Structure 1
Amino acid sequence: MSNTAQLSPAAEKPDHVPESLVYDFDFYADPGLIERGHDRAIEVAKEAPEIFWTPRQGGHWMIKGHKAVFDASRDTESFSNSPFSYDEMQEIIKSLPADYPKPLIPTPITLDAPHHGTFRMPLQRAFSPKAMKAISDDIRALAISLVEEFKPLGGCEFMSAIAEPLPVTVFLKMFGLPVERQVEYRVLVKQHLAATDSNPSAVQERLRKVAAAMHDTIMERKENPQDDIISMLWAAEFNGEPATINDMENYCVMIFVAGLDTVMNGMGLGALHLANNPKLQAELKADPSKVPAATEEILRRYTFTLPPRFVAKDMTFQGITMKKGEKAVLLLPTADLDESEYESPEEFKMARENVHIAFGAGPHRCLGSHLARVELNILYEEMVKRLPEFKLDPNKAVQYHGGPVWGPESVHLVW
């Protein structure tokens, strides 16, 4: 996405949606979002209904309030992570010709219970706090090298210089993919996340490109396992059966897209906040023990993911009539700016007691949250420790993008 994004056509309102619940907001291309980022999220948090219907992107629900998001995230019987149930998808697969490629199903994120737990389990250990602590020294060494590389230059475009190479390099090494191909991989991910065509054939075409880029490495790890996630998944069993190439591709397309994009947006939003708050830089430089608290408040103030859900049955949810098959986006950025949950939510307060839901809630809570926290804490600590006071370049405006992950396209820092 870029700041030239165009609003999608407005869809016709369904009869069961009252006019009072309609709020026009395109989470990919809203002009205010593209121009002002989370300042627009504050407006939506204050103006829009707790749950609203937008005519953009084909027409769908957006769940805005903190309680509504929390409840919907935990109610997987009402809000599915896929437009098709596991059994429905298996029937579709069985109906396909023998020589037809099996559909790619990003796993485990698009599965519901009990299948979600079965396929999530092998990844739990790989992303556990203990595993993240084991690689923290390597993450710190990489963060230091990136900061020190640009320090003598008096400034940098932060997203391309630091926010992208840091988490992407860490992820590729963990996953077992060649680091030297990271530019190619990032292009694929950006194309996938920026695409608004939700037609199943279009989605499958994009996922096939992602799987194809990893295919040789996936197959090589089957024959020559290494100390990486791809090798670990090949060694796993699912319902007593060994992993298949289809299982591996389903896992890899999900982890690939999430691992190569999400955290870098969080880093960019954090750098923006620090650049606009020199007193906070000085406070963290003087007392690095405050960095974790600052990280958590930055995550709350600038929550950046919007997980999609699908209404699993005709129902009434918190007084609102919803129909099976309708899309419902969990608007986590506004949930963490909800005045009913946080006092003066637009203000940055490290002493807040209420916990944010930037990583979601319920069984689908972000699997990579421990890794994200380690990376963010280390980066912020090393930035304020090693750089002089930094600020935004006044001659280069920040550009934002929308979509399922919000963040800045570019952040020009000077010091």
Structure 2
Amino acid sequence: MTALAQKPLPDHVPAHLAMALPLFARKVTYDNPQDVLIPQMHAELPPITYVTNIFPGDQPGWLLKNADDVQAMLRDADNFTKNGMGKWAQNIGENWLVIPTEADPPVHTGYRKALNSHFAPQKMFAMKEQVRERARALIEEFKDKGECDFIADFSEKFPIFIVLDLLGLPQERMAEFLKWEKELLHSNDWEVRGNAVRSVKNYLMEEIEARRVAPRDDYISKILTFEVDGRLWNDDEVLGHCFNLYIGGLDTVTSLLGNIFNYLAANPDKQDELRANPSLIVLAVEEFLRAFAPVTAFRIATKVIEIHGQTIMPGDYVAFCSPVIGRDPAYYEDPQAIRFDRKAPHMSLGSGIHKCLGMHLARLELQIAVEEFVGMLPQFRVKDGFKVPYFVGNILHVPDLHLQWG
């Protein structure tokens, strides 16, 4: 399962804890990592491992395998920072932060105070019919064909429609936005990633400036009125928040949907359970979030810390791998089983002060996607002869999924 590290190790890293892991190989495989790699990792890895390929560009960091350790880290803003965690701005020689994701207390508190009301449950619920109409319109386009290319026909478009509606960005540029998003989040080449950061930044700056000149009834215009510490947000803060919505809104739900519908296609009994009792869908989505979370995120140690007897030095990256944590057998009974009555807590939308700003919108999108799919279509399955690919990396996802029914 593992490969020994080849590069020289820092002095505080013991050789027996250092390895490259296939879960972060950033390539396509045809073995389902949730069924194969992740259970192996729980069975074979120690609680903390120095993974030499865990960050894009095959950069190293520590992997915490157990949910309790991750929970403690996510709640410890004194010893772990998120400042510059994603290296987005640094990659192009700049220093703005992704807001609020890369901000630390106390300024993070001010940002969240300005933002939380705009992503509150009641605000997201008010979008319910708009979200449902988007889902239904997409399904209508293929429901009578007996098959669909799920990623291209539905899961890429659906959440992006919603985010572009929210931001007031043009739907007709979706293909361009998707290209940038894939280069940002799925490439292991820092030059490719950097070029995409520049493209997104330049585009967002144009849109922000257009709203300064002529405000509209959209969220970008609202951001220009936000305050922190008694002042309006500056240009870097407005850009950083727009960038956060771009990278968060254009990928995470898409990746979750691919993982979820791949599972449902392979388990028609679970589809039928939801068709027979749609009231289960809210709980089912929480179980899907636990079991099919796609993202590996990071914190950076600010002090010398000891975890399970291992010294972590300032500047070390420490990973929160939600696909691994959601399948922790020490935290969840029979974690490989998908049970709609589990009602177990999960950290797939974060924990502590950095809990996902868009979590209520993400839940709404997932719930409506499942509701409309099982409501509008008969029992579906993976298309005959199609071999499902899995992309292993920092966002674990199904890049291509062909379904059929009837």
Give the drift of 1:9: 7.9
Give the drift of 1:286: 1.1
Contact 1:78-1:312 within 8 A present in 2 as well: yes
For 2:34 and 2:27, locate their aligned partners in 1 and report how far apart those are by CA, in whole Å.
Answer: 12
For 1:391 and 1:203, locate their aligned partners in 2 and report how far apart those are by CA, in whole Å.
Answer: 35
Code of the residue aligned with 2:76 in structure 1: it is D
Code of the residue aligned with 1:62 in structure 2: it is L
Matched, 1:316 2:306: yes
For 2:205 and 2:386, locate their aligned partners in 1 and report how far apart those are by CA, in whole Å.
Answer: 40
Residue 323 of structure 2 aligns to a residue in which SS?
A: helix
- Report the counterpart of residue 132 of structure 2 in structure 1: 140
Contact 2:82-2:299 within 8 A present in 1 as well: yes
Decide whether aligned partners of structure 1 residues 151 and 83 sit closer, same or farther in structure 2, where only a CA change above 3 A counts: closer
Matched, 1:14 2:10: yes
Scaled by the length of structure 1, what TM-score is found? 0.89
Contact 2:258-2:397 within 8 A present in 1 as well: yes
Deviations 1:334-373 (A, max 9, x none): 1111111111111111221421111111111111111111
5+ residue gaps, structure 1: 1-6, 93-99
Code of the residue aligned with 1:349 in structure 2: it is R
- Report the counterpart of residue 112 of structure 1 in structure 2: 104
Give the drift of 1:204: 5.8
Code of the residue aligned with 2:51 in structure 1: it is T
Q: Over the residues paired in the alignment, what is the CA RMSD in angstroms?
A: 2.4
Code of the residue aligned with 2:11 in structure 1: it is D
Code of the residue aligned with 1:22 in structure 2: it is A
For 1:31 and 1:186, locate their aligned partners in 2 and report how far apart those are by CA, in whole Å.
Answer: 19
Give the drift of 1:314: 1.5
Residue 123 of structure 1 aligns to a residue in which SS?
A: helix
- Report the counterpart of residue 79 of structure 1 in structure 2: 80
For 2:276 and 2:113, locate their aligned partners in 1 and report how far apart those are by CA, in whole Å.
Answer: 41
Give the drift of 1:181: 0.9
Stretch deviating more after TM superposition (14-23 or 299-308): 14-23
Superposed, which structure 2 residues align to 1:37-76 within 5 Å? 37-39=33-35, 40-56=37-53, 57-76=58-77
Matched, 1:303 2:298: no
Give the drift of 1:80: 1.0
Decide whether aligned partners of structure 1 residues 411 and 9 sit closer, same or farther in structure 2, where only a CA change above 3 A counts: farther
Deviations 1:249-283 (A, max 9, x none): 12111211111111111111111111111111111
Give the drift of 1:234: 0.2
For 1:233 and 1:76, locate their aligned partners in 2 and report how far apart those are by CA, in whole Å.
Answer: 26
5+ residue gaps, structure 2: none
Superposed, which structure 2 residues align to 1:194-209 within 5 Å? 194-196=186-188, 206-209=196-199
Matched, 1:28 2:29: no
Residue 414 of structure 1 aligns to a residue in which SS?
A: strand
Code of the residue aligned with 2:349 in structure 1: it is F
Give the drift of 1:59: 2.4
Give the drift of 1:203: 6.4
Contact 2:264-2:270 within 8 A present in 1 as well: yes
- Report the counterpart of residue 245 of structure 1 in structure 2: 235
Contact 2:47-2:64 within 8 A present in 1 as well: yes
Matched, 1:361 2:358: no
Residue 399 of structure 2 aligns to a residue in which SS?
A: strand
- Report the counterpart of residue 177 of structure 2 in structure 1: 185
Matched, 1:161 2:180: no
Matched, 1:175 2:167: yes
Code of the residue aligned with 2:143 in structure 1: it is K
Contact 1:281-1:384 within 8 A present in 2 as well: yes
For 1:287 and 1:351, locate their aligned partners in 2 and report how far apart those are by CA, in whole Å.
Answer: 12
Contact 2:294-2:395 within 8 A present in 1 as well: yes
- Report the counterpart of residue 4 of structure 1 in structure 2: none
Residue 152 of structure 1 aligns to a residue in which SS?
A: coil
Scaled by the length of structure 2, what TM-score is found? 0.91
For 2:111 and 2:222, locate their aligned partners in 1 and report how far apart those are by CA, in whole Å.
Answer: 13
- Of 215, 220, 225, the residue aligned with 2:205 is 215
Residue 113 of structure 1 aligns to a residue in which SS?
A: coil
Superposed, which structure 2 residues align to 1:279-290 within 5 Å? 279-290=269-280
Contact 1:102-1:246 within 8 A present in 2 as well: no
For 1:109 and 1:66, locate their aligned partners in 2 and report how far apart those are by CA, in whole Å.
Answer: 21
Contact 2:181-2:247 within 8 A present in 1 as well: yes
Q: Percent identity?
A: 30
Code of the residue aligned with 2:129 in structure 1: it is D
Contact 1:22-1:53 within 8 A present in 2 as well: yes
For 2:4 and 2:201, locate their aligned partners in 1 and report how far apart those are by CA, in whole Å.
Answer: 28
For 1:9 and 1:394, locate their aligned partners in 2 and report how far apart those are by CA, in whole Å.
Answer: 40
Decide whether aligned partners of structure 1 residues 33 and 341 sit closer, same or farther in structure 2, where only a CA change above 3 A counts: farther
For 1:376 and 1:202, locate their aligned partners in 2 and report how far apart those are by CA, in whole Å.
Answer: 30
Residue 210 of structure 2 aligns to a residue in which SS?
A: helix
Code of the residue aligned with 1:120 in structure 2: it is R
Superposed, which structure 2 residues align to 1:398-413 within 5 Å? 398-413=388-403
Stretch deviating more after TM superposition (11-20 or 351-360): 11-20
Code of the residue aligned with 1:401 in structure 2: it is F
Deviations 1:17-39 (A, max 9, x none): 23443343154316786642322
Residue 408 of structure 1 aligns to a residue in which SS?
A: coil
